[in-house]
Structure 1
Amino acid sequence: MSKNNLLESFGSDPIERVELALDALRQGKGILVVDNEDRENEGDLIYAAETMTQEQMAFMVRECSGIVCVCVKEEKAKALGLSMMVSNNTSTFGTAFTISVDAAEGVGTGVSAHDRIKAIKIVCDDNSKPEDLVSPGHMFPLVAKDGGVFERDGHTEASVDLARLAGLAPVGVLCELCAPDGSMAKLPRVCAFAQLHDMIVISIEDLIAYRKAKNV
């Protein structure tokens, strides 16, 4: 089955799919976002940081790769003193990792669902200061390009764009969905997982089309 046919199970066109995804985020639910087949060709489970719960974090860690990332704009990264992980980024898609973080207080080792959510809420809070976080840690911030998916068609930018368009703080949480054998989930597996857990699937192409159509 083609990519478009699979995605039509979640909405007849890009506009409808993205609107449904935004409604899901506003309701505190997770969504799945797939990128292009000639890029990573993977699906990420995404939540808005503002609404994500400890239970949702535990679900994400169980079902996904375990490398949970919190995606922010550059101004947020600077405000929290999040320096880039490397000065010369040679990764294939230029994924913009900063230093990893944990919450400075009220946590154990930092790896539990409780502790990771604590770090995420600190990152999301506009009143947080650099000293509210410690490094290294178990949460991996990613810095989105200012132009969002118009500038870079990655999951990092998609998560921030989606949170913003949903009227929430522009901070997203993502993790790559895995297949039972530990390999990365491709579109058919992503769609089957979404149907099992009553989630919406959109593509980054859908989001680009939505932003162009709505001029947002």
Structure 2
Amino acid sequence: MNKLDSAIKALQNGEILLLHDASGREDEVDMIIHAKLVTPQTIQKLRKQAGGLICLATDGPTAEKIGIKHMTDYMLESGEEILKQLCPAKTAYGDKPAFSLWLNHNKTFTGITDTDRALTITEFEKMISQGKHANFPKEFYSPGHVPTLIARDIKKRRGHTELSIQLTKLAGLTPAIVLCEMMGDDCKALSIDDAEKYAQENGLILLDGGAI
């Protein structure tokens, strides 16, 4: 079994993977896990051992079904000049941001606790897996504490968002996956060498985006 097959199997089993996008891009490693099996303990682990922003990614068709789009589109179409001025044409790493709305599920309290974020994430996956996309505005509100990402065409953008969503497709899973950037002790992104060491010490798979 090659590393990609092992990664797909791990994703299907609800395990955390480490995903490196590419040298020359962000050159960062994210912890990723499918949204269905996220628990409060998962969020705690991402928060403590990865340390970056805990995001929920989905694909374009799903975003269209529930009626959301990229934040940059909202900003450009808002009619507010300041939002247009703040909208980046391109980021330092070369792509437009994948961010959309920040969500809380209606059953959360503040939305920020590990328990609340796990609830928001799993209920989002449950909603789309059951095909109940029309329930989105009834079950969630924004702004909240779980930033959502919308994958673009993987042929045009190969960020962690697109690579992670592509993995869900290869694994036959719903397009709902959680990502969190790994931070280093030097206050920068965790180096690929340190990520490899972490993966080995914790029995996790580190997959390079070029394999997807």
TM range (shorter): 0.7 to 0.9
**Aligned 8 A contact 1:81 1:130 in 2:** no
Structure 1 residues 10-39: Cα deviation after superposition (integer angstroms, max 9, x where no partner)? xxxxx8111111111111101011021110
Q: How does 1:149-160 map to 2 (within 5 A)?
A: 150-160=155-165
How far is 1:96 from its partner?
Answer: 1.6
How far is 1:47 from its partner?
Answer: 0.4
How far is 1:49 from its partner?
Answer: 1.0
How far is 1:194 from its partner?
Answer: 1.0
Alignment of 1:29 onto 2:2:
no
Partner residue in 1 for 2:102 = 100
Partner residue in 2 for 1:5 = none
Alignment of 1:130 onto 2:125:
no
The whole-number CA distance in structure 1 between the counterparts of 2:53 and 2:112 is 11
Alignment of 1:184 onto 2:189:
yes
Task: Please give the secondary structure, in 2, of the residue aligned with 1:129.
Answer: helix
The whole-number CA distance in structure 1 between the counterparts of 2:121 and 2:31 is 16
**Structure 2 residue corresponding to 1:164, chosen from 162, 169, 173:** 169
How far is 1:60 from its partner?
Answer: 0.4
Structure 1 residues 34-89: Cα deviation after superposition (integer angstroms, max 9, x where no partner)? 02111001100000112222211110011223411111112222333334323355
Partner residue in 2 for 1:140 = 147
The whole-number CA distance in structure 1 between the counterparts of 2:67 and 2:47 is 26
Alignment of 1:86 onto 2:39:
no
Partner residue in 2 for 1:11 = none
Structure 1 residues 86-132: Cα deviation after superposition (integer angstroms, max 9, x where no partner)? 33551412122112111112x12101111111111222122242221
Gaps of 5+ in 2: 77-86
The whole-number CA distance in structure 2 between the counterparts of 1:66 and 1:96 is 16
The whole-number CA distance in structure 2 between the counterparts of 1:172 and 1:95 is 17
Compute the RMSD of aligned alpha carbons.
1.7
Normalising by structure 2, report the TM-score.
Answer: 0.83
Partner residue in 1 for 2:41 = 55
Alignment of 1:203 onto 2:208:
yes
**Aligned 8 A contact 1:33 1:45 in 2:** yes
The whole-number CA distance in structure 1 between the counterparts of 2:46 and 2:172 is 23
Task: Please give the secondary structure, in 1, of the residue aligned with 2:141.
Answer: strand
Partner residue in 2 for 1:4 = none
Task: Please give the secondary structure, in 1, of the residue aligned with 2:2.
Answer: helix
Normalising by structure 1, report the TM-score.
Answer: 0.82
The whole-number CA distance in structure 2 between the counterparts of 1:197 and 1:173 is 19
Q: Percent identity?
A: 28
Task: Please give the secondary structure, in 2, of the residue aligned with 1:98.
Answer: strand
After TM superposition, the structure 1 stretch with the greater mean CA deviation from structure 2, 111-120 or 86-95, is 86-95
**Aligned 8 A contact 1:79 1:130 in 2:** no
The whole-number CA distance in structure 2 between the counterparts of 1:79 and 1:119 is 18
Partner residue in 1 for 2:84 = none
Which structure carries more strand by proportion?
A: 2
